[in-house]
């Protein structure tokens, strides 16, 4: 069984307020008499399901092309958080993390339509990010648009995850994915010095 946990990219894909929306324009078109159809894509690298590169939140840090692929492929555990707002450390401490290096967190954001940006999502405080890093987590995936609070300007959770060299996937869609263990494949586009990479992400059971 393969779960496609990727948000679709189309003109209506929700982005952070003010960020560049997705636009797909046919520069050549069979229906207009051209020899084939060719489209040009314009979008924020953070639209839809994507992997953040350290360059997104640290000057001079590596781009998405330098991401270690062995972190992005392998066993992963899905846990469920039924609430929005900050995820308490006490809740994170209940997650079964023994031997877990890839952790995906399913929150109410998975039920938000792909066209809707809802700033009321579950997010991580630095102490939770630090705890996950010390427990050996090397990849954190969330269905929310960010690991930090929507209004955050200094991105403390992003930076704490970076301190532990934890890769971040955002805007997953984990609806209908039960808590449990899977094989994760998450491959971002190889954009040189990209601050993120749109990715097709799947879980195999």
CA 93 to chain centre: 22
Nearest-angstrom CA–CA distance, 47 and 29: 25
Q: Would you call 50 a catalytic residue per the annotation?
A: no
Pick the closer one to Zn ion by CB: 15 or 97.
15
Residue labelled with tokens 């020899």: 35
For Zn ion, the nearest residue by Cβ is 46
Q: Write down the least CB distance from residue 7 to Zn ion, Å.
A: 12
* Pair 172, 49: CB distance under 8 Å: yes
Sequence-separated (6 or more) residues with CB below 8 Å from residue 70: none
3-class DSSP assignment, residue 127:
helix
DSSP, res 117: -
In DSSP terms, which residues pair with 168 in a beta bridge?
52, 140
DSSP, res 177: -
Q: Write down the least CB distance from residue 105 to Zn ion, Å.
A: 15
Residue in 50, 56, 158, 183 annotated catalytic? 56
Q: Write down the least CB distance from residue 19 to Zn ion, Å.
A: 10
Summarize as ranges the residues that interact with Zn ion (CB under 5 A): 46, 52, 170, 196
Nearest-angstrom CA–CA distance, 16 and 162: 21
CA torsion angle 175 180 181 182 (round to 10)? -20
**H or E stretch at 160:** helix 156-163
Write out the catalytic residue numbers.
56
């Amino acid at each position: 069984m393969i779960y496609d946990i990727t948000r679709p990219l189309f003109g209506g894909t929700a982005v952070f307020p003010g960020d560049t929306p997705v636009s797909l324009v046919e520069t050549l078109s069979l229906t207009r008499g051209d020899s084939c159809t060719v489209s040009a894509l314009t979008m924020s690298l953070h639209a839809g399901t994507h992997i953040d590169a350290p360059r997104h939140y640290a000057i001079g840090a590596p781009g998405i092309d330098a991401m270690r692929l062995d972190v992005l492929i392998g066993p992963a555990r899905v846990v469920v958080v039924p609430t929005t707002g900050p995820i308490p450390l006490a809740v994170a401490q209940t997650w079964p993390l023994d031997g877990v290096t890839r952790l995906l967190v399913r929150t109410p954001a998975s039920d938000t339509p792909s066209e809707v940006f809802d700033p009321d999502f579950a997010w991580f405080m630095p102490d939770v990010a630090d705890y996950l890093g010390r427990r050996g987590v090397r990849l954190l995936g969330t269905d929310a648009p960010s690991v930090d609070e929507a209004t955050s300007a200094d991105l403390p959770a992003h930076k704490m995850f970076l301190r532990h060299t934890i890769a971040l996937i955002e805007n997953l869609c984990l609806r209908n994915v039960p808590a449990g263990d899977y094989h994760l494949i998450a491959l971002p586009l190889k954009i040189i010095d990209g601050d993120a990479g749109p990715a097709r992400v799947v879980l195999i059971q």
